[in-house]
Structure 1
């Protein structure tokens, strides 16, 4: 390739064009491509002077680049395009024209057209006309061909899952009739269907345009959202040296009424002769409003020592697909079952708290083993406890958060922080937090530890052998305080585990050994935890 001058030749050489070709047609295509590139660079007056054949294997193309225009003055009608949009792409914007670097013209016009589409004008067309030079400046007029009426969504039709809860369209996806039509925004919103537990998007949405209406078709399907979870744990009792078992059953039902509701039932019995019964009910978008309600009833019994009944009701507001806030009340009643009062640390009491909470949830839907990437739940409560006619102010704080750092598709790190704090002037044993076991610090008996303040850090290195099998390490650290006994202690749990996704569900095996800060490891303290989560 040659230019008319040495300077022009250097400009052409800087394009790094392809020099070897298999035939003449390929040469001509390359020359056309070079000329088009020169136009975009600002050499709009460049002229191709022909392709010259030197011999059977060498061809030379010649160009005369002429003047390069670095900027262009584009005149527009501010009724067709908003100057605020132009300020996003140009530094110099005036009432009648704006100035662009010439090499950004194509992308800038595409951006203006995109903004017009977002404003309900999907069929708008842009073009530059009356391109001219004036005193060494390049000028053009911007013409926008579009109908003055904005397109809005007139009808929404769900395909695949006909009974999809309509409230989720309005408040979760935030798509509703009479909304300004913007296909890119709609696609982003419908992708959030994959974050729902009970539904998935089958394919991208489609639009039917007619002369006076716009119909949006959303394609989704109902997925398995019910689960049954249970685990069996066993270990050696330090006092009796006998093998003891513990376990729990957890049933979760979701969207069986096509309302987006969820119901869970938990029953747990562990080796410390402790029994827990808990039921939760969540009703989202009550009366098609953005407000939902969460109800909980929990009953805890410690052998023949005491029982505690906890009831809570919360209203929640779904800000968007990831963020949710709560406000509610919690009432607790605990009864001392002992016939004598020799245990002064256990007492009848009633407590009431007003609570505020926030939740962040982010899913990674393609991953069947780890569908949730990050979760954060913060809660605070203020209230009082009444016992023997005395009232005492109390406050509670809690955090439960985890995240997965994916190094690649096989290797990842899992971190979880779980902490709770009860602030009070006096404490009863039957109001303290109970922790330990597979869902807190592993290697310890289920709910065997008592604390007024507790913080647990769970870490795992995970390696996925394939899409259905993973192995992981276990490294847990905990710190707790029991102000009733003036105890402060650090705990550690180490071990390994694996998970297998079977036809029956996700089977997990954990082996962990727990120890306190000042005591050595004992293999007799090891715990094996088995669990199975089945979806149906």
Structure 2
């Protein structure tokens, strides 16, 4: 007998909500069937929890009818039919299709009116009634862009023009004094290079204040590797000044990259090693500068030493400078030294152009007349270049989505007894086609062409290896013209691991030995993001067009890129 009250209490707790909370239903109709169809097209909410919700829904319906042109609509009644049903009835009355808006030309530029209406007259313009709200919002945004963020506008003196049209006057209330940026304060990363504010983001004092444009410009920080936005910009308005606050954070941007490669020598059948070290220091002086040091030694007894310095926005100007020194030595055959100095201009966050000079000097280390295809020479080129760079920093494994670098040079070569005009063209471009979050396709084209009447072996273009066509030894291929395609199908297992295929193809010409060949590389690889950095493994086999596949020609490349 004692269990009965306890069971009854449990049942009340479990089912009391359904017993005592009853849904209310709302039915809205018009004076005629036609009006009811118009109301039904608004897709109003039929079911409600309480009377307040029903009343709010009826108000929303009336406002929606106003926007459709039924400005004289009237709510005849809202009554309770029974315990769970409410009924409402609207009289829509006359619908107005068009509004004639009168305005003052001194307050609104004609260019703004032309963007919102095709029917413009001396002191008024026509609009469809349904476009009124969006149009007023648009005009207000354009006025705000001109440094008047506190402007208000509304329609006044609204009256009936005829049976289907009304008219009104556009009233604009705003301060006469335009707002401009007086001060820019950077929080979080106080040493952020000021030149980047002025020339890269194009935000500077005395600029007309437009918050939307400022936010769009701040988004361009996503294209920088040494800083990021941590909070939306804020503005402090005082009576006589406007202060813009930017919230930035300095990010890790230095990189150390290296790889170790090994394969079997075709002649000696011995295991041989090669590799390189690549150090890239960015913005350590809070100037936006970069310094790159490269040292490479490969299995062909070739050594490369390279120093590259980039200095943006010299003397607070929009012009930057790039300097390069490269020394290449091939066994005991020759050495080649390249020096270049370029000026660059950053058009915007993605586009950059270059112009400069490249000087080369090469020396034959062999005994005189031992090899007639190697000779001492000097070249000098005037060069222009263009670079496009599109990042995707949200993807740690593949932070750059697209890149295009195109360079062309015009100059000549001098030897002890001759002078010859030469031209050179270089292109390097890639794009990642993101199929979805896990699958993507990487496609790259790379090529160069040295245009000359005669050629020396020590001035030919060198390619092959992990950064060009995989499955071949580093810089083992010499040509006056080459072009290659790298492709990878990539699958991300998670945010830290991916696997990929390798399918490469190349074509090159060497006019010294009168050779034209096609090359192919096949293989696979994977990448793992570790605490030390991004570790990459590539296994590739390279072959010539008319040579059978040999497993002994395979190359394994290991690399590790560390960000610090």
- Equivalents in 2 of 1:332, 1:167: separation in Å? 33
What does residue 31 of structure 1 align with?
A: 58
Taking the TM superposition and a 5 Å limit, the aligned residue runs for 1:158-197 are 158-197=186-225
Correspondence 1:108 to 2:115: no
**2:338 corresponds to 1:322:** no
Instruction: Measure how far apart 1:314 and its partner are.
Output: 0.4
Q: Could you report, residue by residue, the CA deviation over 1:180-237 in whole angstroms, capped at 9, with x for unpaired residues? A: 0000000111111221111111111110000000000111111111111100000001
After superposition, give the CA deviation of every residue in 1:160-194 in whole Å (9 maximum; x if it has no partner): 11111111111000000000000000011111122
Aligned to 1:290: 318
Partner of residue 93 from structure 2, selected from 66, 91, 96: 66
Q: Deviations over 1:23-57 (max 9, x none)?
A: 33322222211111111100000000011333333
The runs of 5 or more residues in structure 1 that have no matched partner are: none
Q: In the alignment, is residue 17 of structure 1 matched against residue 44 of structure 2?
A: yes
Equivalent position of 1:120 in the other structure: 147
The residue number in structure 1 matching 2:278 is 250
SS at match of 1:88: helix
The superposition leaves residues 333-383 of structure 1 with CA deviations (integer Å, 9 ceiling, x where unpaired) of: 100100141311111111111101000111112111111111100000010
Q: Displacement of 1:58 after TM fit?
A: 2.8
SS of aligned partner of 1:167: helix
Moved beyond 4 Å, runs of 4+: none
Match of 1:95 in 2: 122
The answer to whether 1:78 aligns with 2:105 is yes
Aligned partners of 1:280 and 1:377: how far apart in 2?
A: 16
Contact 1:83 1:93 in 2 (8 A): no
Displacement of 1:20 in angstroms is: 2.7
Q: Pairwise CA RMSD of aligned residues?
A: 1.0
2:374 aligned residue: 346
1:421: Cα distance to partner? 0.2
Alignment size in residue pairs: 536
SS of match in other structure, 1:265: strand
Which of 393, 404, 425 is 1:376 aligned to?
Answer: 404
- Following superposition of structure 1 onto structure 2, how do residues 452-491 of structure 1 map, counting pairs within 5 Å? 452-491=480-519
Partner of 2:472: 444
* 1:369-518 superposed matches below 5 A: 369-518=397-546
Contact 1:468/1:500, CA 8 A, preserved across alignment = yes
TM-score normalized by the length of structure 2: 0.94
Asked if 1:269 is matched to 2:306, the reply is no
- The corresponding residue for 1:132 is 159
1:18 CA displacement: 2.2
Q: Unpaired runs of 5+ in structure 2?
A: 1-27
Which of these residues, 348, 359, 384, is aligned with residue 331 of structure 1?
A: 359
* Aligned mates of 1:78, 1:495 — CA distance in 2: 69
**Which is greater in Rg?**
2
